[in-house]
Amino acid sequence: MSERVIPLVDQRSRSRAINLPTQVVPATGLLGDALGRPLRDLRISVTDRCNFRCSYCMPKEVFDKDYPYLPHSALLSFEEITRVARQFVAHGVQKIRLTGGEPLLRKHIEVLIGQLADLRTVEGQPLDITLTTNGSLLERKAQALKDAGLQRVTVSLDGLDDTVFRAMNDVDFPVQDVLRGIEAAQAAGLGPIKVNMVVKRGTNDHEILPMARHFKGTGVVLRFIEYMDVGATNGWRMDEVLPSAEVVAHIQRELPLVQLDAAAPGETAERWGYADGSGEIGVISSVTQAFCRDCNRARLSTEGKLYLCLFASEGHDLKPLVRGNTTDEQLASAIAGIWQGRSDRYSELRASLPPDAASDGKRRVEMSYIGG
Ligand code: SAM
Ligand code: SF4
Ligand code: SF4
């Protein structure tokens, strides 16, 4: 086995200061980036902390007791998040996903959900508000989340075998507790529930079929995610990536599948339905198949930095504007200017360049900091 090299320098806060725009960019909901991509999806990280230590995301060796997590004062408050989100919505955002770290660790998260649920799209429609969680606190919180206005949840679960799952979360967390969380979310009406499984060749690929069998016919949409080279601490290696095409072929041998149309432009998952009509699965091929052309996602970090790509090495610091004397109009114009300059397409470039070249050789931001 080759040795893992884990860089220990924290460059999490690398960011660009934002100059206040001299001209107002009217919020019409029609904003486009440099490649003509609209702004539709905002992912908000509400905490950089997590109670799991999945090795592909927050390896224990790096995220240990001495890791410098953000102090509470650095976090955007719920009011600040909602104010920023409102400007994004005015520029066309229709969907907000809360993430982290583990979003259910943020105290009173349902208060934030309630505030976001009051926002309306440019067309006057309620937003699609979802949350991605490791499920550990879901059984306790599902009903309160639903009552606050959350529509759906995505639960991450990397296997059904308790030993495999405990090893992957690396904190010995039992799989039954997550399964109970999924049931509670279903009972609370937080569906259709999606379950995300990150597949690592040689670690949990033997769990693909048991997972498919388990969720087939339950209404839960199981999605297989290629293990990605996000961040700089997970020791990513291409030979641990199991291409989605192989996942589909593997399932097909036992459970026949037919390909379905994409749910919406910019959707990351390729959809497959069971031939017997008992539900669907998805595959997210962020490594083997680039999907940047329709990427309409912006990411807001826990401390208010705007990232234009999951693989970005630099964010745009909105916090000084949010905490300064900036008007909503100025804040919205600043966001517009940043989005208009966006030309990120890391996954597409990765196909033709070595990993470091695609991100300019700079260190990429961690997934636990900007969320998935
Ligand atoms: N803690 C929550 C959870 O695990 O669902 C939300 C944050 S987590 C960063 C969001 C998603 O990113 C999860 O589904 C997780 O499996 C996925 N993820 C994290 N690191 C990844 C990697 N290296 N490759 C692919 N997916 C990854
Ligand atoms: Fe935590 Fe989610 Fe990252 Fe796992 S994937 S360490 S649960 S933030
Ligand atoms: Fe979007 Fe960046 Fe992913 Fe491409 S690599 S799909 S631009 S987040």
**pLDDT category of residue 109 using cuts at 50, 70 and 90:** very high
CATH number at residue 216: 3.20.20.70
Decide if 215 contacts 182 (C-beta within 8 A). Answer: no
What are the residues whose beta carbons fall under 8 Å from the beta carbon of 314, sequence distance 6 or more?
A: 14, 15, 16, 362
Tokens representing residue 295 in the block? 């990427």
Beta strands in 180-237 (DSSP E): 194-199, 221-226
pLDDT for 362: 60
Cis ω on the peptide bond leading into residue 192 (within 30° of 0)?
A: yes
Q: Cα of 99 to ligand 2 centre, how many Å?
A: 10
The residue count of the chain comes to 372
pLDDT for 308 equals 97
Please report which ligand is nearest the Cα atom of 310: 3
Report the nearest-CA residue for atom 7 of ligand 3.
Answer: 345
Residue 24 — very low, low, confident or very high, per pLDDT cuts 50/70/90?
Answer: confident
Q: Answer yes or no: is 2 within a domain.
A: no
* Shortest-distance atom of ligand 1 to CA 52: 1
Asked if residue 23 belongs to a domain, the reply is: no
Whole-structure pTM value: 0.93
Cross-strand bridge partners of residue 315: 15
What does the pLDDT look like over 181-220, one tens digit per residue? Answer: 999 999 999 999 999 999 999 999 999 999 999 999 999 9
Question: What is the structure's pLDDT at 182?
Answer: 98
Does residue 22 lie in a domain region?
Answer: no
CB 111 within 8 A of CB 149: no
Residue (of 293, 283, 281) closest to 257 by Cα position: 281
Q: Cβ contacts of residue 261 below 8 Å, gap of 6+?
A: 271
- Does residue 15 lie in a domain region? no
How close is the Cα of 2 to the center of ligand 1, in Å? Answer: 24
Q: Which residues pair with 44 in a beta bridge?
A: 98, 300
Which of 2-16, 93-107, 270-284 shows the lowest mean pLDDT across its residues?
2-16
Domain-located, residue 8: no
Written as six digits, the tokens of 41 are: 């999806």
pLDDT-derived band at 66 (thresholds 50, 70, 90) equals very high
* Residue 20 falls inside a structural domain: no
Ligand 3 pocket mutation, candidates 33, 300, 342, 347, criterion most atoms within 8 A of CB: 347
What are the pLDDT digits (tens) for 326-338?
Answer: 999 999 999 999 9
Which residue matches tokens 């040795």?
3
Q: 57 in ligand 2 pocket by Cβ < 6 Å?
A: yes
Does residue 307 sit within a domain? yes
Range of the domain at 349: 28-370
Is there an atom of ligand 1 within 6 Å of 157 CB? Answer: no
Q: For 358-371, what is the mean pLDDT?
A: 66
Average pLDDT of the residues of the chain: 91
Q: How many domains does the chain have?
A: 1
Q: Is the CB of 196 under 6 A from ligand 1?
A: yes
- Give the C-alpha separation, 18 to 28, whole Å: 22
**Do 214 and 254 contact (CB within 8 A), yes or no?**
no
Question: Which residue, by CA, sits nearest to atom 2 of ligand 3?
Answer: 309
CB 84 within 8 A of CB 18: no
Ligand positioned closest to the Cα atom of 171: 2
Residues 41-61 have a mean pLDDT of: 97
Q: Does any domain span residue 14? A: no
Judged against a pLDDT cut of 80, whether residue 56 lies above it is answered with yes
